[in-house]
Amino acid sequence: MASMKSDYLNSVKKQFEMYKVLGEKAMAQVPDDKLFWQYNEYSNSIATIVKHITGNMLSRWTDFLTTDGEKEWRHREAEFDNDIKSRAELMAIWDKGWACLFTAIDQLTDNDLERIIYIRNTGHTVTEAINRQLAHYPYHIGQIVFVAKMICGDSWVSLSIPRGDSQKYNEEKFAKPKHKEHYADEYLKDKDSKI
């Protein structure tokens, strides 16, 4: 039987995986050239948001347990330059960040969760540091989804329960017997299911 801590690490990983898929499903709906569109000069394109998330991931999760999460080699301001040139380049950057995150999480054990790590010289337990990132990345993925919806307009395919389908969705859920599973399991098993 898994410990509460192991359950936490498994849950965290599934939540990160779910948000990765959510971002990918949003970006897949956007025409290639629109990945670089900015609402105005003060806003970020989808590509820029991806670049920032990746910069954060590489900094935070590289040598996660042994070095400060804000690496000396990180150039955060450059993450907001809208200079990615293609969807292929964008997705390679995206995948690199997520690979770094999942590699670090896969190496963690229950005994690591109370260890202290530092982000900009501020101590966090490993659990606190994970929770910090689990709030940060969905915040930006929500931005990706919002920008994608603006770009797609009427062609947007909902990534959640579409308007008008809430009652039907709930009826289907309540028609099943009570059971225990992680809420992301269904979504990760069937990429077309609703969140």
Tell me the CATH number at 27: 1.20.120.450
At residue 82, does pLDDT exceed 80?
yes
Q: Choose between 150 and 163: higher pLDDT.
A: 150
Q: With a threshold of 0.85, does the pTM exceed it?
A: yes
Amino acid at 47: A
At residue 63, does pLDDT exceed 80?
yes
Does any domain span residue 195? no
Q: Judge contact between 46 and 167, C-beta under 8 A.
A: no
Secondary structure (3-state) at 28:
helix
- Alpha-carbon distance of 157 to 90, in angstroms, equals 22
At residue 1, does pLDDT exceed 50?
no
Position 190 confidence tier, pLDDT thresholds 50, 70, 90: low
| Cα dihedral sign, 183-184-185-189 | positive
The per-residue pLDDT for range 18-62, each reduced to its tens digit, is 999 999 999 999 999 999 999 999 999 999 999 999 999 999 999
Position 179 confidence tier, pLDDT thresholds 50, 70, 90: confident
Question: Which residues lie across from 125 on neighbouring strands?
Answer: 116
Average pLDDT over residues 143-168: 93
Confidence at residue 6, expressed as pLDDT on a 0 to 100 scale: 82
The distance between the two most distant Cα atoms of the chain, rounded to a whole number of Å, is: 54
- Alpha-carbon distance of 170 to 191, in angstroms, equals 19
Phi, psi angles (nearest 5°) of residue 44: -105, 140
* Structural domain that includes position 125: 4-189
Confidence at residue 24, expressed as pLDDT on a 0 to 100 scale: 97
Confidence at residue 112, expressed as pLDDT on a 0 to 100 scale: 97
Domain count, the chain: 1
Does any domain span residue 194? no
